[in-house]
């Protein structure tokens, strides 16, 4: 049920077919109004000034001016929530990630054989609703307080062998996860991460983080061990479960029904972390819309894990962390720039 004006959306894509699909699908929702479309950034620039949309849907590969160049100009002169609508390819994933670093709040795959129009429609609507309330910043989210504490250069391997860190995020999470992992030393406790992203996009995301961080970061494969110095990111369109065999933690990557409307789902990771790691885990739920992961974080806390939620001020969308706090799932609520140090401290403290 609508509680206010419809969300005004402008779609920018050089494909007439894509523009038609977006118009048809969005017309089914009373709380969303597609106020216009544009075939390129030059037309979009004029329509933004004329139509004043709340949310922009933007392709990244277009003639005359590419979407990323346009996005950077837009964020300098008229910052607004932007959702990237990109091809489901390796190149599309790399470009979408670059766009998110430039200020886009989320990413969606263009309709095609890998994603049905129905699935695309439902995901698009949820992303638009989240983007409407996203906090737009020219730089990655930060608390505005003192600079983030520096993580130690190295940690004692003996203290981290049986500890692990589990992190979940959605809208705004790519930059939040980067802010956390960039503070991890090269032998930080083994880390498992779910970020809501499509296939191919998580591979690009992992590769980018691996270039920026001291810790090794890669897309998870079925059977990968969770070990110090490695962060594993759930591949798009697959759930990632934590499992244990003796003293060894490893991940299981598999398909399955969506959980909390998501695949991968933070809920799946957190609940298996609660079951198999218990007090040997620490968990963090970061920015994102909805409630995915909140109940799982609560199970982790009940199983003896220390847990933290990102605070409202530094969250791009305060949905998932808010739900976790309301459930009593978070031991603490912290600004983004303090979460890495807190995770490392709790994961390396002695029993």
pLDDT (tens digit, 9 = 90+) per residue, 297-335?
A: 999 999 999 999 999 999 999 999 999 999 999 999 999
239 is catalytic: no
Strand order from edge to edge, sheet including 216-219: 216-219, 230-233, 190-195, 164-169, 281-285, 306-310, 332-334
Closest CA to 7 of 31, 37, 26, 24: 31
The single residue listed with the structure tokens 């002695």 is 350
Which one from 40, 54, 106, 196 is the annotated catalytic residue?
196
Q: Which of 7-11, 89-93, 115-119, 275-279 has the lowest mean pLDDT?
A: 115-119
Residue predicted with more confidence, 77 or 146: 77
Which one from 13, 106, 224, 292 is the annotated catalytic residue?
292
| % of the chain residues with pLDDT over 90 | 68
Per-residue pLDDT band for 233 (boundaries 50, 70, 90) equals very high
The pair of three-digit structure tokens given for residue 191, joined into one six-digit string: 């880390």
162 is catalytic: no
Per-residue pLDDT band for 79 (boundaries 50, 70, 90) equals very high
Write down how long the chain is. 351
Q: Which of 45-54, 109-118, 306-315, 330-339 has the lowest mean pLDDT?
A: 109-118
pLDDT at 244: 95
**Are residues 194 and 266 in contact, defined by beta-carbon separation less than 8 angstroms?**
yes
pLDDT (tens digit, 9 = 90+) per residue, 332-349?
A: 999 999 999 999 999 988
pLDDT higher than threshold 90 for residue 80: yes
Q: Which of 92-101, 134-143, 264-273 has the lowest mean pLDDT?
A: 134-143
Query: Hey, how many other C-beta atoms are within 10 angstroms of the C-beta on 234?
Result: 28
Dihedral Cα 86, 87, 88, 89, nearest 10 deg: -110
pLDDT at 109: 81
pLDDT at 262: 92
pLDDT higher than threshold 50 for residue 3: yes
pLDDT at 273: 98
- With a CB cutoff of 8 Å and minimum separation 6, the contacts of 26 are 9, 32, 33, 34, 121, 124, 125, 128
pLDDT higher than threshold 60 for residue 116: no
Mean pLDDT of 4-28: 90
**Are residues 219 and 251 in contact, defined by beta-carbon separation less than 8 angstroms?**
no
pLDDT higher than threshold 70 for residue 49: yes
311 is catalytic: no
Whole-number CA gyration radius for the chain: 20
Q: Which domains does the chain have, with CATH numbers?
A: 7-132 (3.40.50.2300), 157-348 (3.40.50.180)
pLDDT (tens digit, 9 = 90+) per residue, 189-215?
A: 999 999 999 887 899 999 999 999 999
Counting Cβ atoms within 10 Å, is residue 296 exposed (0-12), middle (13-18) or buried (19+)? Answer: buried
Closest CA to 209 of 292, 308, 140: 140
User: Which H/E stretch holds residue 18?
Assistant: helix 16-26
Residue 125, classed as helix, strand or coil, is: helix
Give backbone dihedrals phi and psi of 243, rounded to 5 degrees, phi first. -130, 170
pLDDT at 64: 81
pLDDT higher than threshold 90 for residue 169: yes
pLDDT at 96: 80
> How far are the Cα atoms of 15, 53, 99, 234, 269 from residue 166, in angstroms, in the given order?
40, 37, 26, 11, 8
Please provide the average confidence, as pLDDT, over all residues in the chain: 88
| % of the chain residues with pLDDT over 70 | 87
Q: Where are the alpha helices (DSSP H) in 239-350?
A: 266-276, 294-302, 320-327, 336-348
Which one from 86, 170, 206, 315 is the annotated catalytic residue?
170
> How far are the Cα atoms of 125, 316, 317 from residue 130, in angstroms, in the given order?
9, 9, 7
Nearest-angstrom CA–CA distance, 281 and 194: 15
pLDDT at 121: 79
């Amino acid at each position: 049920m609508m509680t206010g004006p419809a969300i005004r959306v402008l779609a920018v894509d050089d494909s007439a077919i894509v523009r038609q699909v977006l118009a048809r699908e969005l017309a089914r929702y009373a709380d969303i109004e597609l106020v216009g479309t544009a075939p390129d950034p030059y037309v979009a620039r004029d329509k933004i000034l004329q139509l004043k949309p709340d949310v922009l849907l933007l392709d990244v590969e277009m003639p005359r001016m590419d979407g990323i160049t346009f996005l950077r100009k837009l964020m300098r002169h008229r910052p607004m929530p932007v959702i990237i609508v990109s091809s489901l390819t390796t190149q599309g994933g790399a470009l979408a990630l670059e766009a998110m670093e430039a200020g886009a709040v989320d990413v969606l795959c263009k309709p095609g054989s890998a994603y049905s129009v129905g699935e695309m429609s439902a995901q698009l609507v949820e992303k638009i609703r989240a983007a409407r309330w996203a906090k737009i910043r020219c730089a990655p989210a930060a608390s505005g307080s003192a600079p983030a504490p520096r993580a130690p250069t190295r940690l004692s391997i003996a203290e981290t062998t049986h500890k692990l860190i589990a992190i979940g995020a959605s809208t705004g999470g790519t930059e939040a996860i980067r802010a956390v992992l960039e503070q991890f030393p090269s032998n930080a406790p083994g880390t498992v991460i779910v970020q809501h992203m499509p296939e191919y996009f998580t591979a690009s995301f992992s590769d980018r983080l691996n270039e920026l961080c001291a810790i090794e970061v890669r897309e998870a494969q079925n059977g990968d061990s969770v070990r110090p110095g490695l962060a594993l990111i759930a591949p798009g369109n697959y759930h990632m479960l934590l499992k244990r065999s003796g003293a060894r933690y490893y991940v299981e990557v598999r398909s399955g029904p969506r959980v909390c409307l998501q695949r991968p789902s933070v809920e799946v990771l957190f609940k298996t972390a609660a079951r198999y790691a218990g007090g040997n885990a620490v968990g963090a739920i970061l920015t994102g819309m909805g409630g995915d992961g909140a109940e799982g974080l609560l199970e982790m806390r009940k199983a003896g894990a220390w847990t933290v939620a990102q605070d409202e001020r530094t969250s791009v969308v305060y949905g998932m962390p808010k739900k976790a706090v309301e459930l009593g799932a978070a031991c603490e609520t912290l600004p983004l720039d303090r979460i890495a140090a807190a995770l490392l401290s709790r994961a390396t403290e002695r029993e």
